[in-house]
Amino acid sequence: MSEKEDNSQTLASLRARRGKPRVGKRLSVPSPPSHSIFQAELFRPLEEDDLPDVSSQDVPFAPGRSSKSASEDSFRQTTGVSTERRIWSVRELITDLRQYVETTYIDLWVEGEISNCRLAPSGHIYFTLKDGDAQLPVVLFRRQAVLLRFRPKDGLAVLVRGRMSVYESRGQVQLIAETMEPRGAGALQLAFEQLKGRLLAEGLFDVSRKRRLPAFPKCIGIITSPTGAVVRDIVTIIRRRHARLNLLIYPAMMQGSATAATVAAGIRWFNTNPSLVDVIILARGGGSTEDLAGFNDEALARVIAASELPIVSAVGHETDFTIADFVADLRAPTPSAAAELVTGAQHQIEERVAALAARVQRAGHFHLMQARHRYALLSSESVLTRLRDGVNRRDQRLDELRLRLDGAARRRLRVLSQRVAFVSELLHRQDIVVRIAMTHRRLQSVAQRLQGTTHQIIVGRRARLNHASARLGALSPLAVLSRGYALVYDADGTLLRSVADTVVGHTIRARLAHGTLEAEVTATQIEEIDVTETGNS
């Protein structure tokens, strides 16, 4: 089966293949065949030609069922596909995806560039593999991280072996790394460079901390393999150059994983017995980088640096360099050269005398040159030379001032550009659209408040008007007319208050509640009470 067909299988079929079906309360969906062509045909839009030929004779009509429902039932019976929805919970879906990913992508080699590398306090290493625009989260747990021979860092191209998984808490696909190796340089070389840089930063390679070898040692401690050819070469050279010099050999493993531990144990033993030897030699023949890897151990380097006795490193050939060579007090190109170095004091006396003679000769030559130089300063040519030198110095000063001016201008422009960027950011934060929207909302609020206040004023004034109209109506004489009274006027419109104000034969006009009428006075009669009231008034 091809990879494409295998990836098209559903989660239910994978669980059935593993023999671990998941029992849930949700409705089961029939698993379609694994063939991708069938799935493509199953989920494509239906056309008229795809529907089965359903006639009224084949499907009996049932009350309350439409022809569309009958067609759907016939389609379900024909295809055998259930249209009921399957509802997943988030945990169930992520768990099924994780199981599918972990069973499909078991052993992978992934190449990429490390980015966002961070070491957790627990010892786990988290980073991201990047390749162009794609990225993949990777986790390297502590038990695998301690086995690395180099330290991962951002920008390093690596080849990672591991398996895919899904981190359920974030629903994130990640690669769980098992091993990792750098691309380009080997792991041992990268570990060597990283350890070298770290120890150099700590000052373990400084010349000031290294001790001088004793000029005339009495006994030399040699840490090497007692069965190799190296120890025979050292013994032969020392016996030829210094026959009375004693040798004390500490047997150690010079190759393999136990190299660093046994060599460090030998250094500690010699330091606990400082009266036995005066200097220590680490001796090993040549070999590959893997053979010399034991001398690139950090713990061994720190033991060498902490040694009270001077140490000569004679590991490999002249072109081989190890961390032990940099930390030791002296590096010898070969073990034979180390034997010559520790026994070279007797041969250096003559060389010392020759060196002193050479120094005397050089000193005389130097004084002669100084005298000639002073004489040259007194000539006319030297004056012109000094003038040219003065001009050149001023030109140099001008160049320096010009560079300083350019630097100041660039700094000024940088400050101004930063200010412009700051102001631009402030203007960007003060978005005019947002401010217009806020002003619009405030205007709407004020308009609503104004409308409410106006309505309250109008209602209050209207209530006062109605009250005043009611009072005015109550005090109006017209309201009295509605109760059956009338106002009587004479011909010129004067209101008649008494019978005495008119005579028989005059025309009077009476105003009633509804309309007016005119009448002629035919008789008058004055009552006594009216006369009295009239007199009083």
Per-residue pLDDT tens digits of the chain, which is 537 residues long: 333 334 434 444 444 444 443 433 333 333 433 433 333 343 344 344 444 443 334 433 333 444 444 455 554 555 555 567 888 999 899 889 988 988 899 889 998 888 888 999 888 999 999 887 788 999 999 998 888 878 888 878 889 999 999 988 888 999 999 998 887 555 666 777 788 888 888 888 888 888 888 878 889 899 988 887 888 888 888 888 777 788 898 998 888 888 889 999 999 999 999 889 989 998 888 776 667 878 888 888 889 888 889 999 888 887 778 888 888 888 888 888 888 888 777 666 656 777 888 999 999 999 888 888 777 766 666 667 778 888 888 888 898 899 999 999 999 999 999 999 888 888 777 777 777 888 889 999 999 999 999 999 999 999 999 988 888 877 777 777 777 778 888 888 888 888 877 888 788 888 887 788 888 888 888 776 554 555 555
Model pLDDT, residue 140: 93
Pairing of strands 219-224, 279-284: parallel
Model pLDDT, residue 445: 92
Model pLDDT, residue 161: 92
* Whole-angstrom distance, CA of residue 322 vs CA of residue 254: 13
Joined together, the tokens standing for residue 245 give 């010099």
Model confidence, pTM: 0.38
Model pLDDT, residue 28: 38
Closest CA to 332 of 312, 347, 346, 304: 312
Count other Cβ atoms within 10 Å, centred on residue 341.
Answer: 18
Q: In sequence order, what are the residues at sequence separation of 6 or more whose Cβ sits closer than 8 angstroms to the Cβ of residue 348?
A: none
- How many CA atoms, within 13 angstroms, populate the side-chain half-sphere of residue 529? 0
Query: Nearest 5°: CA angle at 53, between 51 and 55?
Result: 130
Model pLDDT, residue 14: 43
Helix (H, G, I), strand (E, B) or coil at 43: helix
Burial of 12 (0-12, 13-18, 19+ CB in 10 A): middle
* Whole-angstrom distance, CA of residue 361 vs CA of residue 370: 14
**Residue listed under structure tokens 């994978």:** 14
Model pLDDT, residue 379: 66
Model pLDDT, residue 54: 38
